[in-house]
Structure 1
Amino acid sequence: MALAQRDQLVDTRRRPQPPIDSATRSEFAGFYAKTMPRLVVFVLRHGADVHQASEAAQAAFAQAWERWETIEHPNAWLRTVAFRHLLRLRDRREGPLQDLEDPPGGVCPLDRIELGAQEELVLKVLAGLPMQQRRVFAWIYDGFSAQETAELLQTTPEAVRQSLARARKSLKQAWETMKEAPQ
């Protein structure tokens, strides 16, 4: 059974309960702080804007909180859930909400996301790629192998490598165009 499918199995007769013991809550908080910025960047690589990426990542973590003790592969599970949430956001076609002040409290891991000019260019080029190329690029550059990516996207490793090669070619062409453009 694929990782994404196995991680999605939940008994629909009862709603999962969030972790109760402090050790599990502490483990989740540490994982959240470490993983949230990377998850947002993963969603950005799918062509989302920063608001959509943040919302999709936060929604994935909210679901993970309820199922934390049953999720076997949290990195893959979160990315799958965040991507699906992004697709639902795009279907609704809502605009971003007004920027609201954050309530006092801890530091949000999203504040640590800093994109350089080159990464902003990469994200812009990625947004113009076909969806399958964006998805493959996001999974591979988030540390998943071609085999794992193929399993999670329900395709073949060869198709993953081909989509990745096409995405890299598009990125290289955009980079060359940018270098040739007058400053």
Structure 2
Amino acid sequence: MSTHNPADGTDLPSTTPAPLGPLRPPGPSDSARQRTDAEFSAFYRTNIRPLTGFLIVHGAQVQVAADIAQDVMTDAYRNWTGITHPKAWVHKAASRALVRKVASVEEAVDDIPEPSSLLPRPDAIAEWETRHDALPMLRSLPMKQRQVMAWTLAGFTPTDIAEHLGLPAENVRANLRKARRTAAAHLKSREEDQ
């Protein structure tokens, strides 16, 4: 093997092995990776709390909602370059994850929640739920109405919701109307009690 010396135009015998190249696996360039990381970081900061709230409105306990939201965001990061509508993607994935969680029975009843950045004081869950007094009303709604209301509160239109849930748009609108009527009745009875 020889190495060409461009300074003098001659070929010199090689005494050292050829360089191996980068030790990183092939993939996007550093600048593309930094751009992707910056895009995802901005998306994460903007959407992690609303996504957790979306799950709470669906009926999840605060700690379960925080865990699911974090897991979904981790999956979103792994698939970031292939996701075209990230907000819809994470909401749909979170909704499905919650359904799987509710359907599974492997969760122990006496689990003690661990602190996280979304829930720094797990003992403050009851206090937080009390401050958000709409939660009992939302949790009293039938599942489909609660689901449609959660998507609506997350900023999706009935047409978007119908597309993401695979339901006719008329059904989404009907459930939304019923949920709003229930919410209005709840607020009216609360005002009368005061």
What band does the TM-score fall into relative to the shorter chain? 0.7 to 0.9
Q: 1:98 and 2:98 equivalent?
A: no
SS in 2 for 1:45: helix
How far is 1:97 from its partner? 3.7
Q: Any unmatched runs of 5+ in structure 2?
A: 1-26, 121-126
Q: Which has the higher contact order (CA 8 A, sep 6+)?
A: 1
Aligned identity (percent) is: 32
What's the C-alpha RMSD, in Å, of the aligned pairs?
2.6
Deviates more, 1:90-99 or 1:151-160: 90-99
Trace 1:1-80 onto structure 2 (pairs within 5 A).
21-80=33-92
Deviations 1:5-62 (A, max 9, x none): xxxxxxxxxxxx9997111111111110111011011111101110111111111111
Q: How many residues align?
A: 158
- Specify every segment of 5 or more residues in structure 1 that has no aligned partner in the other structure, as ranges: 1-16, 103-107
Q: 2:166: which partner in 1?
A: 154
1:18 and 1:180 map into 2 onto residues whose CA distance is 61
Do the aligned partners of 2:66 and 2:118 also contact (CA within 8 Å) in 1? no
- Listed one character per residue, the Cα deviations across residues 143-180 of structure 1 (whole Å, up to 9, x for unaligned) are 11111111111112221111001001111111122222
Aligned to 2:176: 164
C-alpha distance in structure 2 between counterparts of 1:88 and 1:171, whole Å: 27
Q: CA offset at residue 92 of structure 1?
A: 2.7
The 3 A distance-change label for structure 1 pair 84 and 39 is same
Q: 1:60 to 1:101 in 2, by over 3 A?
A: closer
Distance of 1:148 and 1:18 partners within structure 2? 33
Measured after TM superposition, the shift of residue 91 of structure 1 is 2.2
Q: Which residue of 2 aligns with 1:9?
A: none
How far apart in 2 are the matches of 1:18 and 1:97?
A: 41
Structure 1 position 96, deviation (Å):
6.7
> Which structure dedicates a bigger proportion of its chain to strand?
2
Query: Structure 1-normalised TM-score?
Result: 0.76
